[in-house]
C-alpha cells in the first residue's frame, strides 16, 4: 500500500464537494464525486463570497473566471425599515480588498457551481448517485448508493448538505433546530424596478426593522437583484430550497415598510420560501476514515452569509492535510482536518444565530445603540473575512478569539 496515493469518495457535488474534489486533485489526491442529482443543477439565487472564500477560489484557479459576472458592491447601506433613512453606510469596494487581501463579490449561485464544475474537468463526477449508507472496512471506507452501486475508497467525505445521509449513517439522526423564521428569496431583473434609481449603483442593502430584515444585492453583472427577506413564521416549517412562496404573503409581512423596499419585493414573480433551520454544533464529525464537510458538518443560518464560504475553507484545509499522505495516514489527516475546522465553524454557526436578533430589533434604545456601533462592523467581522484558511494551517495565529464578538 505504501507509496500509493489515497483515493477519496466525495459524496455530494455541491459547492463544498466540488471544491474539495478540485482541491484534492491539486494536492495529488484522487477523488471521485458522487452526486444524487441526475445532472448538474444549481438551485438558489445569489451567494456572497468574502475574501476568505475568494482566497480558496484563487487557490483553485477559478476566481478570475467568476470575476466577469460577479458584482463588487461599493457599500453596504443599512436602512431603517419605515423611514428608509440610511442609518449606516460602510464602504466595501477597494477598501475591503485592500484590508482583507481579496474581494467581496456577489455571484449567482449557478455561476459558482458552473465554475467549480468546469474546474473539476477530468475528475469523475457520477450523477444520479444517491448515497444511502457508508461504513468502515479494516483498511478503507465504503459508500453505498440507491442504485445498488458501491464506492470503495481510502476515505469517504460527506459533502451532502444539511440533510446529510453520510452524517446520519455515521452519527445517527440529529435534530434540526427551527429558527421560527422563514426566508423569501428571489432574483428580480433590474429593469423591472425602474422607479428605484438608487439601485442603479451596486450596493448591498440591509433593511433592518422589528422582527424582520431584508438583504438585497445585485448579481449577474448587475442585471439581477437578489433578495432574502427573513420573516417570523412559526407555522411554515418546510425545510426546502425549492418551495415557492406567494408575493401577496411576502408583501403582507412587510406592510408599513418603506416603498423603496416594498416596490422591489412586489416585483418578485415567484419568490422561493424556505423555513430556516440549522443544527446544534457537532462534538465530532470524523470517525475513522469518514468525515463531513460544509453544511453536512456545520449547517448554519444564512445571517453571516458564510455557508458557502465555510464549505470552501473546509475543502482547502482537507486537501492540504491530505497532500502527501499515504492511505495509512488518512485517518490521522481527517482528525487534523476536523480539529482545524471545528472551532471556527462553531463560532460562525453561533454568530449566525445572534445576527438575526440584532438585525430585527424594534425601534428604541437598543436599535439606536446597534446603529451607532455599525461603523465598527468591519473590525468585528475581520476574524471571518480576514481569515486565510491555508496560512492559518501553516502557522496557527493565536488571538483570533480576542477579536470575536
Ligand atoms: C439548493 C441550495 C441553494 C442555496 N442558495 C443559497 C443562496 O442563494 N445564497 C446563499 O448565501 N446561500 C445559499 N445556500 C447555502 C450555501 O450555498 C450552503 O451553505 C453551501 O451550498 C454549502 O455547501 P455544501 O456543498 O456543504 O452543500 P450543498 O451546496 O447543499 O451541496 C450538497 C450536495 O449534496 C447532494 N446530496 C445531498 N444528499 C445526497 C446523497 N444522499 N447522495 C449524494 N448526493 C447528495 C446535493 O444534491 C447537493 O448537490 C444554498 C444552499 C442550497 C442547498
Q: Whose CA is nearest to atom 2 of ligand 1?
A: 44
Determine if the pTM surpasses 0.85.
Answer: yes
Q: Is 32 in the pocket of ligand 1 (CB under 6 A)?
A: no
- pLDDT value for 198: 87
- pLDDT value for 405: 35
Long-range contacts of 247-256 (CB under 8 A, 24+ apart): 247/271, 249/273, 250/184, 253/184, 253/212, 253/229, 254/212, 254/214, 254/229, 256/82
Ranges of the chain whose pLDDT falls below 50? 1-2, 400-405
What is the C-alpha end-to-end distance of the chain, expressed in Å? Answer: 47
Q: Is 220 in the pocket of ligand 1 (CB under 6 A)?
A: no
Question: Would you tell me which CATH number, out of the four given (3.40.630.30, 3.40.50.2300, 3.30.420.10, 3.50.50.60), belongs to the domain 7-72+104-175+280-354?
Answer: 3.50.50.60
The best mutation among 32, 70, 160 to test binding of ligand 1, ranked by most ligand atoms within 8 Å of the C-beta, falls on 160
Where in the sequence numbering do the catalytic residues fall? 217
- pLDDT value for 368: 95
- pLDDT value for 400: 47
Which three cell numbers, joined as nine digits, stand for 201?
Answer: 449603483
What is the arrangement of strands in the sheet containing 150-153, beginning at the earlier edge strand? 131-137, 140-145, 150-153
d(CA 189, CA 333): 46
Query: Of 179, 321, 282, which is closest to residue 239 (Cα–Cα)?
Result: 179
Q: Ligand 1: which atom is nearest the Cα of residue 293?
A: 26
d(CA 184, CA 249): 10
d(CA 273, CA 265): 13
- Indicate the SS3 state at residue 285: coil
Q: Ligand 1: which atom is nearest the Cα of residue 18?
A: 25
CA of 367 to the centre of ligand 1 (A): 33
- Indicate the SS3 state at residue 134: strand
Q: Is 43 in the pocket of ligand 1 (CB under 6 A)?
A: yes
Please provide residue 403's backbone torsions phi and psi, each rounded to the nearest 5 degrees.
-95, 0
Query: Of 286, 283, 287, 341, which is closest to residue 317 (Cα–Cα)?
Result: 341
Q: What is the DSSP letter of 396?
A: P
HSE toward the beta carbon, residue 90, CA cutoff 13 A: 17
- pLDDT value for 239: 65
Burial grade of 2 (CB within 10 A; 0-12, 13-18, 19 or more): exposed
Asked if 18 contacts 118 with a C-beta cutoff of 8 angstroms, the reply is: no
Provide the residue ranges of all domains of the chain, joining segments of one domain with +.
7-72+104-175+280-354
DSSP per-residue letters across 327-366? GGGHHHHHHHHHHHHHHHHHHHHHHHHHHHHHHTPPTTHH
- pLDDT value for 401: 47
Amino acid at each position: 500500500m505504501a507509496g500509493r496515493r489515497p483515493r477519496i469518495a466525495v459524496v455530494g457535488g455541491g459547492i463544498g464537494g466540488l471544491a474539495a474534489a478540485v482541491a484534492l486533485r491539486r494536492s495529488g489526491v484522487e477523488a471521485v464525486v458522487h452526486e444524487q442529482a441526475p445532472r448538474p443543477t444549481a438551485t438558489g439565487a445569489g451567494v456572497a463570497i468574502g475574501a476568505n472564500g475568494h482566497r480558496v477560489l484563487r487557490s483553485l484557479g477559478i476566481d478570475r473566471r467568476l470575476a466577469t459576472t460577479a458584482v463588487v458592491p461599493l457599500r453596504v447601506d443599512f436602512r431603517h425599515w419605515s423611514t428608509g433613512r440610511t442609518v449606516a453606510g460602510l464602504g466595501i469596494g477597494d477598501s475591503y480588498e485592500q484590508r482583507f487581501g481579496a474581494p467581496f463579490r456577489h455571484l449567482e449561485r449557478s455561476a459558482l457551481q458552473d465554475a467549480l464544475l468546469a474546474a473539476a474537468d477530468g475528475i469523475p463526477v457520477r450523477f444520479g448517485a444517491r448515497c444511502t449508507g457508508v461504513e468502515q472496512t479494516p483498511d478503507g471506507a465504503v459508500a453505498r448508493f440507491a442504485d445498488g452501486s458501491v464506492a470503495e475508497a481510502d476515505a469517504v467525505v460527506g459533502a451532502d448538505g444539511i440533510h446529510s445521509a453520510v452524517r446520519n449513517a455515521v452519527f445517527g439522526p440529529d435534530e434540526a433546530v427551527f429558527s421560527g423564521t422563514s426566508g423569501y428569496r428571489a432574483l428580480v431583473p433590474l429593469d423591472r424596478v425602474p422607479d428605484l434609481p438608487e439601485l442603479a449603483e451596486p450596493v448591498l442593502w440591509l433593511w433592518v426593522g422589528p422582527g424582520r430584515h431584508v438583504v438585497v444585492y445585485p448579481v449577474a453583472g448587475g442585471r439581477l437583484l437578489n433578495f432574502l427577506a427573513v420573516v417570523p413564521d412559526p407555522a411554515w416549517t418546510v425545510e426546502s430550497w425549492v418551495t415557492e412562496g406567494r408575493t401577496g404573503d411576502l408583501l403582507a409581512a412587510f406592510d408599513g415598510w418603506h416603498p423603496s423596499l416594498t416596490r422591489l419585493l412586489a416585483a418578485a414573480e415567484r419568490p422561493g420560501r424556505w423555513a430556516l433551520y440549522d443544527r446544534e454544533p457537532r462534538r465530532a464529525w470524523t470517525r475513522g476514515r469518514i468525515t463531513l464537510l460544509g453544511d453536512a458538518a456545520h449547517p448554519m443560518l444564512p445571517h453571516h452569509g458564510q455557508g458557502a464560504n465555510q464549505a470552501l475553507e473546509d475543502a482547502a484545509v482537507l486537501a492540504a492535510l491530505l497532500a502527501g499522505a499515504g492511505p495509512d495516514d488518512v485517518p490521522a489527516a481527517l482528525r487534523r482536518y476536523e480539529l482545524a475546522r471545528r472551532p471556527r465553524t462553531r463560532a460562525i454557526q453561533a454568530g449566525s444565530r445572534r445576527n438575526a436578533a440584532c438585525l430585527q430589533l424594534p425601534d428604541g434604545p437598543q436599535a439606536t445603540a446597534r446603529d451607532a456601533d455599525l461603523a465598527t462592523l468591519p473590525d468585528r467581522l475581520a476574524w471571518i473575512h480576514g481569515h486565510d484558511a491555508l496560512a492559518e494551517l501553516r502557522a496557527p495565529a493565536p488571538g483570533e478569539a480576542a477579536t470575536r464578538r
